[in-house]
Structure 1
Amino acid sequence: MAIAVLSSGITGLNAAERALGNSAHAIANIGTQGFQPSQAYFTESQPAGSGVSVSFQAQQLQQVDGPSQTDLAKETTNSLVYEKQFDFSAKVIQTADQMLGSLIDIKA
């Protein structure tokens, strides 16, 4: 059980890290003419309860001569959410590690 929880926490860390990187990329390109950021989508891995995965969907590719399409308020909010998601996944891993350590100590 604790191993499955560790795996689930690790997938959460990876998904949050990738989504945070995506938001950072969008913010870094806010001054780039015609830049169109992609949106992160989280899905539950199969079988259910085994973790989370993230995919990215780019906006329709079209030639834009104007300023970047990045919404700074949205990307800043997303960054804060992804940071908390990373922290919560780290707590899951920490708790699973403690449970696994307690289980091993009981059997010793």
Structure 2
Amino acid sequence: MAIAALSSGVTGLNAAERALGNSAHAIANIGTQGFQPQQATFAENTPAGTGVSISTRGQELLKVDAPSATNLATETTNSLVYKAQFNLSAKVVQAADQNIGTLINIKA
């Protein structure tokens, strides 16, 4: 059980990190003409309870003279959500690590 929680926490950390990087990339390109940011989508792995994965919808360049399609308010909000997801996943990993340590100590 603790190993599964550890694995779920790690996949959550990885997905939140990728999403945060995606959002940072969009913010960094806010002044780039024709930039269309990618959209991060989270999905539960199968079987259920084994973690989370992330996919990003590919970016397409708009007309070169069009302004960037990045919405700063949306990307800032997304960044805060992804940071919270990362912190919660880190807590899952920490709890799983403590449970594993307890199991090892009990058997010793």
Assess same fold via TM > 0.5. Answer: yes
Q: What is the alpha-carbon distance in structure 1 between the residues aligned to residue 22 and residue 60 of structure 2?
A: 17
Give the fraction of aligned pairs with identical amino acids, expressed as a percent.
73
1:36 and 1:58 in contact (8 A); partners too: no
Q: What is the alpha-carbon distance in structure 2 between the residues aligned to residue 33 and residue 106 of structure 1?
A: 61
Q: Which amino acid aligns with 1:106?
A: I
Q: What is the alpha-carbon distance in structure 1 between the residues aligned to residue 15 and residue 33 of structure 2?
A: 28
What's 2:52 paired with? 52
Gaps of 5+ in 2: none
Q: Which amino acid aligns with 2:74?
A: K
2:41 and 2:55 in contact (8 A); partners too: yes
**What whole-Å deviation, never above 9, does each CA across 1:49-108 have from its counterpart, x for those lacking one?**
000000001356543521100000000000000000000000000000000101111111
What's 2:104 paired with? 104
Q: What is the alpha-carbon distance in structure 1 between the residues aligned to residue 43 and residue 96 of structure 2?
A: 22
2:35 and 2:60 in contact (8 A); partners too: no
Gaps of 5+ in 1: none
2:35 and 2:61 in contact (8 A); partners too: no
RMSD: 1.2
Q: TM-score, normalised by structure 1?
A: 0.95
